Amino acid sequence: MSIRRLLPLGIFLWPVSVWPNPTECVHSPQARGRWLPGFDIHTDYEKKIPPSKLVEHELTVSNQVIAPDGYLTNGGGQWYRYLGRTIEANWGDTLRSSQVYEFRLMQYGTSCYHSHFSIQWAIKINGPSSMDYDVDQGPILMSDWYHADAFALYPTEILTPEAPIPGTNVMNGKGVFDCDPSEAPRCTGKHERHEIALKRGPHRDLNDFVPIQPYETDVLIVGIERYEILITADAEFTNGTNFWMHANYCDIGTWESRLGIIRYGALNTSDPYTPPVSEQHYGFGFQDPPPESLVPIVKRQVGKNMNSFDTPDYLRIGLQAWPNVSDPNSRIHTLLLTNRSICLDWSDPSLKKLTLDANPEFPPETSPVTLQLSDWELGVLPHPEQLHIKRCCHPSNHPRSVHPIHLHGHDYVILAQGEGPFPDDVVPNLDNPAKRDGYYI
């Protein structure tokens, strides 16, 4: 029997050349492109949203000592009470929590919510899919897991050229830290990994909240982005029916990558066979799939731009010595955006200013980037190495895992992307370019 499974993070994508024009209303394993009468995978979700129903999720936030990887750590957030809890609703619904967050689900797909303090959890907005599948395995989140909190890690971040390295990685809140309970009092000795059970047969994809034309790949680097993966469960059983799901701390080739387990048949619960480390599977840095691979199904033509590709319009990002910008040996650096280091007043958040204040003020030290909303806005985000402000900047000897900024919750298209100095003759792709809402720079 052919079984298709939805695995929103994984390795294999399988192409679908045609799918029936989804005009019927039934969403089913054979017709994932359909949704509700009048709504399907081709519906322009920026213009048309299904009728709303109110969905409420109650999350309890508390501080707990937890050991997701077998090592006791102070964990904030809603981890303990709701381990691995996914917020789930349908496209068009309205989500409310006991806080004041209430928002209409204008798009659909899988994403994550996080506090910038602790772990991230999944949010799953059901809607049509560009590929048919049989079984939805639910979201799989891979996270770095630190044994110290952000405040303890901060000195490493600002005083050394190295990034704080996580203690381990976890997949859906489970991981295995290499420690010995007889030597380390905080070591629990618990070894638990995220497991999924597959039956043989085919199994999906999308990116962010943007349905794309499915494509096939052997390797997918996942940063802040989300992907939906269709896997075909047709593995060879030469070395048993159990298989590792690997994920690496970016750029450290020797990092333990065995994170989760796929089992065909639940009876054999031994660890999978470990193949020799493949050179194909580590050390990519923060690379995204080529934007040409991410072709949106709902087509969009990018209109006339409001600004130019000219150098003065670059949104410059970089690191600057602090407090003396001219000191090449400075140990402390500040992050620059548009040539400035951002200084924000946390008690006066930007979103509050924009939504509640009658006359919001953004003084220069807040480094505002003003966009004209009447038309398209081009933004050139050069890598720090390309900034023409090198004399004041840290030479880029940071490990590749350290990205100066990431964007999420922004809605934009990628007109061009590449490595090396920004060329003068870049040709922007204005014809249905890749669309994103989360990105590492």
Residues that bind ligand NAG (CB under 6 A): 236, 238-242, 268, 270, 272-273, 275, 312, 316, 324, 326-327, 338-339, 388-389
**Distance of alpha carbon 225 from alpha carbon 223, whole angstroms:** 5
> Closer to ligand NAG at the Cβ: 304 or 391?
391
Q: Which residue is nearest to ligand NAG, using beta carbons?
A: 240
**Distance of alpha carbon 336 from alpha carbon 339, whole angstroms:** 5
Compute the C-alpha angle 320/325/326, nearest 5°. 120
64 SS3 class: strand
Taking the complex as a whole, the smallest distance from the CB of residue 198 to ligand NAG amounts, in Å, to: 13
| Closest listed residue to residue 402, CA positions, set 330, 316, 319, 342 | 319
Cβ atoms within 10 Å of 347's Cβ, excluding its own? 6
Phi, psi of 20 (to 5 degrees): -60, 145
Taking the complex as a whole, the smallest distance from the CB of residue 273 to ligand NAG amounts, in Å, to: 5
> Closer to ligand NAG at the Cβ: 26 or 197?
197
> Closer to ligand NAG at the Cβ: 339 or 432?
339
Taking the complex as a whole, the smallest distance from the CB of residue 193 to ligand NAG amounts, in Å, to: 14
Taking the complex as a whole, the smallest distance from the CB of residue 368 to ligand NAG amounts, in Å, to: 12
Taking the complex as a whole, the smallest distance from the CB of residue 271 to ligand NAG amounts, in Å, to: 7
> Closer to ligand NAG at the Cβ: 326 or 347?
326
What kind and span of H or E run contains 318?
Answer: strand 317-322
> Closer to ligand NAG at the Cβ: 138 or 240?
240
Say what the alpha-carbon torsion angle 34, 39, 44, 49 is, to the nearest 10 degrees: -130
> Closer to ligand NAG at the Cβ: 303 or 363?
363
157 SS3 class: helix
Taking the complex as a whole, the smallest distance from the CB of residue 173 to ligand NAG amounts, in Å, to: 24
Cα–Cα distances in Å, from 392 out to 37, 148, 201, 313, 381? 59, 32, 57, 20, 18
